């Protein structure tokens, strides 16, 4: 579960996040929409403890720890470009990550995770420097699976992915949510947001101006609503 209450962040004079309240329940996928500069990345940065808020409260997976520690313990983050150790293979990257978590996985356990995430077999033992964006996203998912993350934070996860990779990625995210993870994804991809998310909110100038249950909307309706919502706040 993700609970954000009255989150505020300023950069000098600029109010990037303005008293934001937002909740994402276990098993729920929430799409955080909004134009450039709306405060999506700042919100995500605060969730992960990368950015220090000026006010408000953040709770991840019921933890009362400071956000950075709670994120280290409970969250997995998949950035637009998943950073890997370029000279290590996919298997070695996952092994390294799992050792940081205090685990000693067998090669078979790592391969089972890579298989589950759909990383092509031919890539398992190749250096990550040759990986495509979609392959990197899959390794990111493996790390979330390995960690048993209760919170999954995604920043523009589908930008630059081809439609097939994007659909495959969406299925993996849904599988993690079905295991009980609370998922928040900042995105400009309204099509994928409508396909994948359960709920979405529109952030403008650091405030949520609208929220919808996506199950209530017809195909294509999200874009109309979104543009209408922005128009009303122009």
Ligand X SMILES: Nc1ncnc2c1ncn2[C@@H]1O[C@H](COP(=O)(O)OP(=O)(O)OP(=O)(O)O)[C@@H](O)[C@H]1O
* CB 1, min distance to ligand X, A: 23
Instruction: Give the interface with ligand X as residue ranges (CB under 6 A).
Output: 11, 14, 16, 34, 36-42
* CB 12, min distance to ligand X, A: 7
* Nearer residue to ligand X within complex by CB, 45 or 140: 45
- Taking the C-alpha atoms of residue 155 and residue 32, their distance in angstroms, rounded to an integer, is 9
* Nearer residue to ligand X within complex by CB, 39 or 134: 39
132's CB contacts (< 8 A; 6+ apart) are: 165
* Nearer residue to ligand X within complex by CB, 51 or 119: 51
Q: Taking a C-beta distance cutoff of 8 angstroms, is the pair 193, 224 a contact? A: no
- Taking the C-alpha atoms of residue 50 and residue 77, their distance in angstroms, rounded to an integer, is 11
* Nearer residue to ligand X within complex by CB, 115 or 211: 211
* CB 168, min distance to ligand X, A: 24
* Nearer residue to ligand X within complex by CB, 34 or 140: 34
CA distance to 14, 20, 78, 226, per residue, from 232 (Å): 22, 19, 32, 10
* CB 223, min distance to ligand X, A: 16
Task: Report the residue count for the chain.
Answer: 234
- Taking the C-alpha atoms of residue 49 and residue 63, their distance in angstroms, rounded to an integer, is 13
Q: What DSSP string runs through 51-101?
A: S--SEEEEEETTB-S-HHHHHHHHEEEE-SS----TTSBHHHHHHHHHHHT
* CB 219, min distance to ligand X, A: 24
* CB 201, min distance to ligand X, A: 12
- Taking the C-alpha atoms of residue 87 and residue 148, their distance in angstroms, rounded to an integer, is 26
């Amino acid at each position: 579960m993700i609970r954000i209450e009255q989150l505020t962040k300023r950069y000098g004079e600029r109010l990037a996040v303005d008293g934001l309240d937002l909740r994402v329940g276990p098993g729920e996928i929430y799409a955080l929409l909004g134009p450039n500069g709306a405060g999506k990345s700042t919100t995500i940065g605060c969730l992960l403890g990368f950015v220090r808020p000026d006010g408000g409260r953040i709770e991840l997976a019921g933890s009362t720890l400071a956000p950075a520690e709670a994120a280290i313990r409970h969250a997995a983050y998949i950035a637009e470009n998943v950073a890997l150790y370029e000279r290590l293979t996919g298997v070695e990257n996952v092994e390294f990550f799992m050792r940081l978590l205090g685990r000693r996985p067998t090669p078979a356990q790592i391969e089972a995770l890579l298989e589950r995430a759909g990383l092509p077999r031919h890539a398992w033992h190749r250096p990550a420097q040759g990986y495509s964006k979609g392959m990197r996203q899959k390794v990111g998912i493996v790390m979330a699976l390995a960690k048993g993350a209760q919170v999954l934070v995604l920043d523009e996860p589908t930008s630059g992915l081809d439609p097939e990779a994007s659909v495959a990625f969406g299925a993996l995210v849904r599988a993690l949510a079905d295991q009980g993870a609370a998922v928040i994804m900042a995105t400009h991809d309204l099509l994928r947001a409508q396909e994948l998310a359960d709920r979405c909110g529109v952030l403008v100038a650091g405030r949520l101006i609208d929220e919808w249950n996506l199950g209530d909307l017809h195909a294509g309706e999200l874009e109309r609503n979104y543009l209408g919502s922005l128009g009303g706040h122009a």
